Amino acid sequence: MPPLKFRPILKSAIWGGEKIAPLKGIVTDQKQIGESWEISGVKGNESVVENGPDAGLTLTRMIEKYGAALVGEPNFQRFGTTFPLLIKIIDAAGDLSLQVHPDDELAMKRHHSLGKTEMWYIVDTEPDAVICAGLSSPVTPEEYVEKVEDNTLMDVVAHHKSKPGDVFFLPAGRIHSIGAGNLLVEVQETSDITYRIYDFGRVDAKTGKPRELHVDLAKDAIDYNVYPNYITKPQDLGEGISELVNCSHFSVWKLTVDGTRIFYPQVDSFSSITCIEGHLTLEDDRGNKVDLKAGESVLLPAMAKKYTLEGKGSLISAVSVPKVN
């Protein structure tokens, strides 16, 4: 089984921009592309393999066929044929809604789904781009509801001026919003459960009505604690490797290559690899090669114990780290 490339799933949005198609070298008439789902096992939005002998199969079908050889034994034992992570590229020309996601326990109770812990790596920004993440002032659940009703919730949300290279770790329960002018890579649990709590008074052009809010559902999901810092500082591991996030759901690194580098995965997991800059060739330990340009992603099966990157570029790589029950 070679490293796998997938057909990107392009999603237009009311806040979407025009940067994703050029970044990926795609010619399309689709407008306001807000998201490219690079690697997805979400039902109804499953990635389809576009290279190798299994071209045309969905990611779920690939797991059914190859099991632990693709995703790793710990992931296969815990998640079965559900791919545990969702990898996206997001282009926000407008502000996304202020939202929050439930944790695994609440999401399973309410929706029979995983929760949604996520992280963002900022690839590019426009001047004055902002990320909203966390609370700047303490509020009670009752005060939260009042502030939604009187349109003052944003007054207690922490605003952060963003720049390329910034990292935001967003555990389930943390209020957040991607502000206009941010282009980023997102790594998250496989979940599409979102509680929208503020939408800047926008009206959906298709319906002529404001988009639905989930104020009551979010009330029990929000982490009301105020933290001293919401921007994650990457840890420089040397030799062009920076650890961006290491949590109970996933670990994420930035890899910078200029020449030829050999990497040895340290856990029994697949590796998702998204190129954010440059042009490289990836070769696994069986001699299978794939081309990787900016805006493209590849899934390296867990059975690959070594891979080589040749060329010049930067990549975001993630593995799944199943929570121990």
Q: What are phi and psi of 42, to 5 degrees?
A: -65, 130
Same domain membership, residue 192 and residue 46? yes
With respect to residue 4, please indicate whether it lies within any of the assigned structural domains: no
In a domain, 224, yes or no: no
Pair 163, 302 in one domain: no
If asked whether residues 66 and 128 sit together in one domain, one would say yes
Tokens 């309410």 sit at which residue?
A: 110
Q: Both 92 and 59 in a single domain?
A: yes
Looking at 219, 254, 277, the residue that finishes a domain is: 219
Is residue 42 domain-shared with residue 94, that is, in the same domain? yes
pLDDT for the residue 322? 73
Any domain includes 288: yes
Nearest of 230, 225, 234 to residue 253 by alpha carbon: 234
Q: What is the pLDDT of residue 143?
A: 97
Which CATH number do you get for residue 189?
Answer: 2.60.120.10
In sequence order, the 6+-apart residues with CB closer than 8 A to the CB of 109 are none
Residues 177 and 151 in one domain: yes
Whole-number Cα distances in Å, 266 to 5, 64, 304, 322? 22, 24, 11, 14
Is residue 242 situated within a structural domain? yes
Range of the domain at 268: 235-320
Residue where a domain terminates, one of 186, 219, 252: 219
Q: How far is Cα 289 from Cα 281, in angstroms, rounded to an integer?
A: 7
DSSP letters for 253-308: EEEEEEEEEEE---SSS-EEEEEEEEEEEEEETTS-EEEEETT-EEEE-TT---EE
Residues tagged active-site: 196
For the chain, what is the domain count?
A: 2
pLDDT of residue 108: 94
pLDDT for 301: 98
**Residue 50 within a domain:** yes
Instruction: Kindly give the confidence (pLDDT) of every residue in the chain, 325 residues in length, as a single tens digit, with 9 standing for 90 and above.
Output: 999 999 999 999 999 999 999 999 999 999 999 999 999 999 999 999 999 999 999 999 999 999 999 999 999 999 999 999 999 999 999 999 999 999 999 999 999 998 999 999 999 999 999 999 999 999 999 999 999 999 999 999 999 999 999 999 999 999 999 999 999 999 999 998 999 999 988 887 788 888 889 999 999 999 999 999 999 999 999 999 999 999 999 999 999 999 999 999 889 999 999 999 999 999 999 999 999 999 999 999 999 999 999 999 999 999 998 765 4
Same domain, 155 and 126: yes
Same domain for 43 and 139? yes
